[in-house]
């Protein structure tokens, strides 16, 4: 676990325009000084991410939101009181003094105050707690988000040639999937819009602001975490309904394909190359999900099959990530079921 000297050293690196990876309660972030466009550009280069995709700005507890956002709706204050620090990102109109590089040129800004103690110490040490750390998840564009320091090293290396100058270790991320993103930038016309489901649910919002958020529409700002193909390991992933799983396994075996299987209970009779049991509860499942996908990706299988979890509201964030990881299930399956020639 990173101690205060490591955290202070990381803060100095950020202040000098370098990249630092740090733990949050959701996933690990790849951080840069949000007010330094050259430093933000290094994030895009290291991730291989298109530069028109906005990045979330992380703030210390009690930071002055008015320095970052303008025309702040009153709902924002209520949501901040209820859910910060925590896994919630709020999109608002960007203050004019904040460089647009961090927003991919859009006139909005995504703000979040993380609850992880190492993230909070880093935010307090960086620019005496008055700065913002721009940080997307610390993975290559489109790949599975990291939930341990080891995952970040696997993505970017840690040698002297790595663009990531320091990786702060904070253990395994507690929540395990990325923050809920709520767009409050067009309250007058659209009301609150849910851009990415997560641990903070629509019902949680309704309890605080008295209404459920709308689903994203075509006019919503682009969020890379909302692209169809995202959060994916290199091995093709398919989602299989529990009742279809035995037949799919049998067909893949008959076609000579190596299968890595993830489900909430261990399979008993099937012939698989690798298998992993995930927890029964949504919180436990989210906590383990990305580490499991990474482990299955190393199993040298032709395909990763994830047994579809329940569709209840508390599984919404998980189902969203799984759908994107498995965005072409039908195509993958038909290719793999053709005989090997």
Give the residues lining the site for Mg ion (CB under 5 A): 137
Q: How far is the CB of 80 from Mg ion (least distance, A)?
A: 23
The residue (of 195 and 259) whose beta carbon lies closer to ligand TXA is: 195
Contact yes or no for 2/170 (Cβ under 8 A): yes
Residues 6 or more apart in contact with residue 11 via CB below 8 angstroms: 122, 125, 126, 127
191 token code pair:
């009301």
Q: For residue 174, is it left (φ>0), alpha (ψ between -120 and 50) or beta?
A: alpha
Q: Choose among ligand TXA, Mg ion, none what residue 179 binds, the Cβ cut-off being 5 to 8 Å by kind.
A: ligand TXA
64 token code pair:
């002055």
Q: Choose among Mg ion, ligand TXA, none what residue 29 binds, the Cβ cut-off being 5 to 8 Å by kind.
A: ligand TXA
Alpha helices in 173-236 (DSSP H): 202-209
21 token code pair:
């990876």
Q: How many residues does the chain have?
A: 341
Distance CA 226, CA 101 (A): 20
By beta carbon distance, the residue nearest Mg ion is 137
The residue (of 59 and 301) whose beta carbon lies closer to ligand TXA is: 59
Q: How far is CA 4 from CA 26, 121, 125, 285, in A?
A: 21, 8, 9, 31
Q: How far is the CB of 58 from ligand TXA (least distance, A)?
A: 6
The residue (of 7 and 223) whose beta carbon lies closer to Mg ion is: 223
The residue (of 34 and 240) whose beta carbon lies closer to Mg ion is: 34
The residue (of 146 and 236) whose beta carbon lies closer to Mg ion is: 146
Q: Choose among ligand TXA, Mg ion, none what residue 54 binds, the Cβ cut-off being 5 to 8 Å by kind.
A: ligand TXA
Which residues contact ligand TXA (rule: CB under 6 A)? Answer: 24, 26-27, 29, 53-56, 89, 91, 103, 106, 108-110, 112, 135-137, 178-179, 181, 195, 221, 223-225
Q: How far is the CB of 225 from Mg ion (least distance, A)?
A: 5
Q: Choose among Mg ion, ligand TXA, none what residue 27 binds, the Cβ cut-off being 5 to 8 Å by kind.
A: ligand TXA
Q: How far is the CB of 294 from Mg ion (least distance, A)?
A: 14
Q: How far is the CB of 226 from ligand TXA (least distance, A)?
A: 6
Q: Choose among Mg ion, ligand TXA, none what residue 329 binds, the Cβ cut-off being 5 to 8 Å by kind.
A: none
Q: Choose among Mg ion, ligand TXA, none what residue 32 binds, the Cβ cut-off being 5 to 8 Å by kind.
A: none
Q: How far is the CB of 13 from ligand TXA (least distance, A)?
A: 17
The residue (of 121 and 137) whose beta carbon lies closer to Mg ion is: 137
Q: Which of 175, 172, 206 is nearest to 192 (CA)?
A: 206
Q: How far is the CB of 211 from ligand TXA (least distance, A)?
A: 20
SS3 of residue 218 by DSSP: coil
116 token code pair:
């992880």
The residue (of 180 and 209) whose beta carbon lies closer to Mg ion is: 180
Contact yes or no for 260/301 (Cβ under 8 A): yes
Alpha helices in the chain (DSSP H): 4-15, 37-47, 74-83, 117-125, 149-156, 202-209, 245-254, 282-297, 316-325, 329-337
89 token code pair:
């990102």
């Amino acid at each position: 676990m990173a101690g205060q000297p490591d955290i202070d050293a990381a803060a100095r690196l950020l202040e000098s325009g370098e990249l630092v990876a740090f733990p949050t309660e959701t996933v690990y972030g790849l951080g840069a000084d949000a007010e330094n466009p050259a430093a933000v550009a290094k994030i895009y280069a290291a991730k291989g991410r298109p530069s028109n995709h906005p990045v979330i700005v992380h703030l210390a507890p009690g930071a002055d939101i008015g320095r970052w956002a303008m025309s702040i709706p009153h709902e924002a204050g209520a949501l901040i009181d209820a859910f910060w620090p925590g896994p919630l990102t709020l999109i608002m109109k960007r203050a004019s003094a904040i460089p647009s590089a961090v927003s991919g040129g859009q006139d909005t800004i995504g703000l979040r105050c993380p609850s992880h103690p190492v993230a909070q110490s880093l935010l307090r040490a960086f620019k005496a707690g008055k700065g913002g750390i721009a940080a997307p998840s610390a993975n290559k564009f489109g790949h599975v988000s990291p939930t341990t320091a080891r995952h970040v090293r696997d993505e970017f290396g840690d040698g002297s040639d790595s663009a990531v100058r320091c990786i702060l270790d904070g253990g395994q991320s507690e929540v395990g999937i990325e923050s809920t993103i709520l767009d409050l930038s067009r309250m007058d016309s659209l009301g609150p819009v849910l851009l990415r489901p997560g641990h903070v649910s629509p019902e949680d919002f309704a309890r605080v602001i008295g209404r459920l958020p709308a689903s994203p529409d075509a006019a919503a700002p682009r969020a890379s975490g909302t692209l169809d193909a995202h959060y994916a390991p290199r091995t093709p992933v398919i989602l299989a309904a529990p009742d279809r799983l035995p037949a799919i396994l049998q067909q893949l075996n008959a076609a000579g394909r190596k299968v890595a299987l993830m489900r909430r209970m261990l399979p008993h009779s099937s012939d698989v190359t690798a298998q992993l049991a995930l927890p029964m509860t949504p919180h436990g499942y989210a906590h383990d999900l990305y580490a499991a996908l990474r482990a299955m990706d190393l199993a040298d299988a032709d395909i990763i099959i994830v047994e579809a979890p329940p569709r209840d509201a508390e599984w919404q964030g998980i189902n969203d990530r799984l759908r994107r990881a498995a965005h072409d299930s039908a195509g993958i399956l038909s290719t793999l079921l053709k005989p090997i020639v």
